[in-house]
Chain A
Amino acid sequence: METLATALGHYNYVITIFLMMIGLYIVVVRGNMVKKLVGLSIFQTSVYLLYIAPGKIIGGTAPIIDPAFKVYSNPLPHVLILTAIVVGVATLALGLALVVRINEAYGTIEEDEIFERDRET
């Protein structure tokens, strides 16, 4: 009962881990390369959530200094994750570009079929 209460109290971490495991599962289990990249994106997204969620301060506003407001959300996690998102987008774009090239070279993007074609030659 106490464990359950702890888990519910930290529901943002529960969601983070849940997303992380979903992403990792897709990366490991799926043979289709585009699906692998989708899994990888979900995996990265979970970490964005890990940073962003604690940055929210209840009742806080966007961190733009204004005499009307006293409480601000923590901007640093957002800045960090903006950077991480850019890194993630770059990775995804590069990954997709590689998949396109692989498809041109092998004629498939299923991993097991590619290994088979490499064995043939």
Chain B
Amino acid sequence: MSLDLILRVGTKLILPFILLFALYVQFHGDYGPGGGFQAGVIAASAIILLSITFGLEAAHRIAPQSLVERMIPLGVLIYAGTGVAGLLMGKNYLDYSVLAHDAVHGHELGIFLVEAGVLITVASTMTALFYAFAERGR
């Protein structure tokens, strides 16, 4: 307990910034390197860091296994659902131009939703992978 004080305090300090950076990478993806994949991995790394320092139980309290396993299909569902939204509005699959009042905003919204889906799926997949390997052999 006493030996890893710096580690514990350091982790607590840095966690919000990791998540903030994930959000920055997510939303700045339109203009600069970034997007759902990278943001998802960064967000998942926050959970992984948490479970390395505080143990798996602490991570499970924040992101329970069942929630993580449901978030994987949820993200893909958002992505595919965005495509279907275009379909329901009488255009082709993944045609975003009908999602808003004009084509440019429609594309912006479409990409935003798709990236949100990617974020959820990638973050939860990475976390689930970590859980799966960490829980083996315990």
Contacts and interface: CB of A to CB of B under 8 A. Distances in A.
Interface in A53-101: 62, 64, 82, 86, 93, 96-97, 100
B33 A100 contact: no
A97 B132 contact: yes
A86 B38 CA distance: 11
Interface in B11-59: 31-33, 37
Interface of B: 31-33, 37, 129, 132-133, 136-137
Contact of A93 (B37, B129, B136): B129
Chain A interface SS verdict (over half) = helix
B132 A86 contact: no
B32 A64 contact: yes
A86 B121 CA distance: 12
Contact of A100 (B31, B32, B133): B133
A82 B37 contact: yes
